Amino acid sequence: MSARANPPPFEACLKDAQVLARDWIPRWLGQLQKTLQQCAATASHHQEKQAYLHAGTVLVGARDRMADQFLKALSDGVQAAQERATGNAPRVPSTQRAWDGVSMEDLELMDHLQVQATVELARLQQVVKMAADSELLALGALLSGAQGLPAVRQEANPLRPEVVIAALMQALSHLHVDEAARMRWLHVGAVPLGAELQRFYRDLALGLEQRNVQPAAYVVVPTVVAHRAAVAEGSTRPESAPLDTKIGDAAVLTLDHLHQLLVGNLDHGGEVVSDQGASGSGNAMVRTLAVEVVALMLRTIAQDQRLLPSVRDMVQQLKPVLLHLARAEPRFFADRHNPARRLLDTITARSLAFSSEQDTGYAEYAQQVHDVVKTMNASTSALPDRIVEQLNRLLPQSAPDQGLAMQTLVHVEQRHLLAEHVAREIQARPDFGRAPGLVRRFLCDPWAQVLAHARLHLGTAGKGCLDDVPAQRYMDILPDLLWSCQLAQASLNRPRLVRVVPAILRTLREGLDSIDYPRVRAEAFFQGLMGLHEAAYKTRHNGDPAAPLPPRGDEPAPEPWMHAEEARHSGFVDTLLAAPDFADTQPFARGLSLLASEPLPELAVGAWVELEQQDVVRRCQLRWASPHGTLFLFNTAEGLPISLTRQGLDRLSAQGRLRVVAGQGILDEALAAVARQAWINSGKL
C-alpha cells in the first residue's frame, strides 16, 4: 500500500506532468487565440489581417480537438521517450521523432510551402529552448538523478522540448486543417509555448526537489572515438555552444537557400559568376550557395577528431578543387553517385579504419591519398575524367571471403528462423510445461536448431522409410524425453524409464553431433539430464503428477547457432564464451547496462565500430546486415570478416568492448551539419 501511496520520484514526476499538461495545454491554446486576434488587429496589410483572422477562426473550431490530441500525443511521446531511455524501444516511430533538423534528402523532396513550414518549426523549437533553457537544465539534472544516473543524460528526460514539439506536430497532423493556418499557429504560438514550458519545467523541478531528489552532474566527456560524443545528448550541457561556432559562420545560409540550391533551375541566366551572386541571377546565386555549402562541409570535416590530423590536412588540400567543382557543378555534393562526392566519401570512410598513424596499413593508405591530392591539384583541365580515375585507384577491393561470409550468414539466419518456428511447435505441446527448466531451455535452443538443420536437409534423405529420416526421429523422441525428466511420472514406471533412456541419449547425441554442437556444452546438459533420470529411478513418488509450470517470461531469446565451419567462414565472434547454456543464470537485459554504457544505437551499413577482442582493439566497418536483423557482418581494415549476432552486439556494448566510432559516413555527417546550420539560421530570422 505504501508503494502505491509513495511512488518513486521519477514515476511521480511523470504523473505530475500529466496533471500539469491538462492545465497548461488549454491555457496555451487560449493565449494562442488571443495573440492571433491581436495580430489581426495590428496587421498593416489587408491580406495579412485576413490570414490571422482565418487562422483564429480555424483554431476556434479545432481548439477542443487540438487539446485532446495534444494531450494524447504528449502522453504517448513521453512513454516512447521513456522506453527508448531504458533500451526497451529499439526504433523510434516516425511520428514521434524529435524535430531537430531536416536532411538534405528530405529538403530536396519538399515544395516551397513545406520548406516554409519547416522554417516555422525551426523557429518554434529555438524560441522554446531559449525561453526554457535554465529550467530545462535543472529539470534534466533532477530527472537523471531520480533515475539513479551518475551523470546527466539528456535523452533520460522524456519531457524535453523535442518530445513536446513532436507531440504538437503529431496532434496537428490529426486535425486536417490547412497548412497556412498551421504555420500561423506555429509562428504566433512559439513565444507563449516557451513561457508555458518554462513554468511547466519549473513546477516539475520543484516537485522533485520536494521529494529530496539530488541532481546528477553535467560532465564533459572527452571525444575519443566518436565526434558526436562532445555534443551527444547528456554528454555536456545541452546546446552549451551554438552550432554555428562548430561549423562556421554561415549566418546567411537558410533552408530557403539550401532548397534553392538543391532544386533550383540553372537555366535562368547567370553564366558569369564573377559577381558572386550579387546580380541576383539564378545561376550565380546557386553557384555562390554551393561554394558556401562546400566550405562549411570542409570546415566540419577539418574539426572531426575521428580523422587523424594528417588525413584532415590532406582533405583540406582538396579545397580548391572542390570549390571549383561547386562553381561548375553546384549540386555535386548532393548526388551520392557523383564521382567527386564518392572520392571524398571514400577517403574519409577508409580513414576511419585507423586510430593511429602507426596502425598497420596506414602508411600505404596515406600515400595513396597523398598521390590523389597531388594529381587532383595539378590542373583543373579534364577534371571530371581525372576524378573518376583517382576514385578507381582509391576504391578498396572487395574481400574475397566476403561473398562466402554473407552466403553463410544467410543460411544461418534461415535455419535460425526455422528453429524459432520449431521452438514454438515444441512449446505448444501439452507436456512441455511440466518439464524442468533445464530441458525446456535445451529443447527451445540447441534441439530446435537440430530439428531445423534436419528439416533443411530433408531432401537429401531420399524418399525411403519416414522413420529413417532424422527430422522425424528427432521429433519422435520428444514424448519420451519430456516424460523421463519428470520425477512425478517417471518414478512410477521404472521399467519404461530403463528402456527409453538409452535411446533418448543416443538420439540426442546424434542430433547434437549433426550441428557440431560443442562437447563441453553438450556434456553439461547430459549431466543434468542424467541427474534427473537417476533421481526418478531412485525415488518412488506416490503423489499426483505435477501441474504444468507457468512459462518463464524472462528467459532470453535463443541466438543464431553456427557450425564450426560456418563460424570460420564468417569470422564469428562467440560472445557467450563458456557460459553455461542451461543453468539458471540471469538473462541479459539492455536496460541493466544503462549505468555502465550508452545503449547501442541501431547500426546502418557503413557504420564503423571499435571492437575489443582478446585484449586487442580493432576498428571494423559494418558491411552487411541479414534481412531479419539477427546477424551482422563487419570487415576489418585488412579485409577480414567478423560476424556477430544482435545479442552479441548488445552484450559487447554493455561490457564496454564495442563502441561506435561513426554511425554513418563522415561526409554524410558533415552535410547533415550543414543542413542543421541552415535550419538553425532559418529559426533565427
Specify if 574 maps to a domain: no
Looking at the structure, tell me whether residues 128 and 212 fall in a common domain: yes
Range of the domain at 658: 588-663
**Cell output for 376:** 587532383
Q: Is residue 296 part of a domain?
A: yes
What is the pLDDT at residue 274? 36
pLDDT at residue number 483: 92
pLDDT band at 587 (very low <50, low <70, confident <90, very high): very low
Task: Please state the domain count of the chain.
Answer: 4
494: cell is: 521404472
How wide is the angle at C-alpha 108 spanned by C-alphas 102 and 111, nearest 5°? 95
Which region among 106-110, 152-156, 178-182, 448-452 has the lowest average model confidence (pLDDT)? 106-110
Q: Is residue 512 located within the same domain as residue 600?
A: no
Write the pLDDT tens digit of every residue in 295-310: 999 999 999 999 999 9
Among 102-106, 362-366, 414-418, name the one with the lowest average pLDDT.
102-106
Q: Are residues 204 and 93 in the same domain?
A: yes
3-state per-residue secondary structure call for 562-614? CCHHHHHHHCECCCCCCCCCCCCCCCCCHHHHCCCCCCCCCCCCCCEEEEEEC
Query: Is residue 386, in this structure, part of any structural domain at all?
Result: yes
Residues 54 and 176 grouped into a single domain:
yes
Structure confidence at residue 627 (pLDDT): 87
Q: At residue 147, what is the residue type?
A: Q
Place of cell 561548375: 328
Same domain, 133 and 64: yes
The H helix count followed by the E strand count for the chain is: 26, 5
Lowest mean pLDDT among 109-113, 333-337, 561-565: 109-113
Residues 197-224: b if buried by 16+ CB within 10 A, e if exposed: bbbbbbbbbebbeebebebbebeeeebe
Q: What is the pLDDT of residues 317-373, one digit of tens each?
A: 999 999 988 888 888 888 888 899 999 999 998 899 898 898 888 999 999 999 999
Query: pTM of the predicted model, to two decimals?
Result: 0.67
Q: Tell me, yes or no, whether 582 lies in a domain.
A: no
The number of C-alpha atoms within 13 Å of 648 and in the hemisphere containing its C-beta is 21
- pLDDT per position as a tens digit, 246-290: 334 444 788 888 887 877 654 444 444 333 343 444 567 778 888
pLDDT of residue 177: 86
Same domain (yes/no): 630, 680: no
Position 577 pLDDT exceeds 60:
no
In a domain, 272, yes or no: yes
Q: Do 256 and 313 fall into the same domain?
A: yes
Same domain, 154 and 69: yes
pLDDT on residue 684: 65
550: in domain: no
Residues 440 and 411 in one domain: yes
The residue out of 500, 521, 538 marking a domain boundary is: 538
The last residue of one of the domains, among 219, 253, 275, is 219
- pLDDT averaged over every residue in the chain: 79
Q: What is the domain-level CATH number for residue 640? A: 2.30.30.140
Same domain, 40 and 174: yes
**Least confident segment among 38-47, 119-128, 535-544:** 535-544
Last residue of a domain, one of 203, 219, 235: 219
pLDDT of residue 114: 78
> Does residue 437 belong to any structural domain of this protein?
yes
Question: How many other CB atoms are found less than 10 A from the CB of residue 494?
Answer: 13
251 part of a folded domain = yes
More confident residue, 400 or 415: 415
Whether 412 and 387 map to the same domain: the answer is: no
Residues 472 and 531 grouped into a single domain: yes
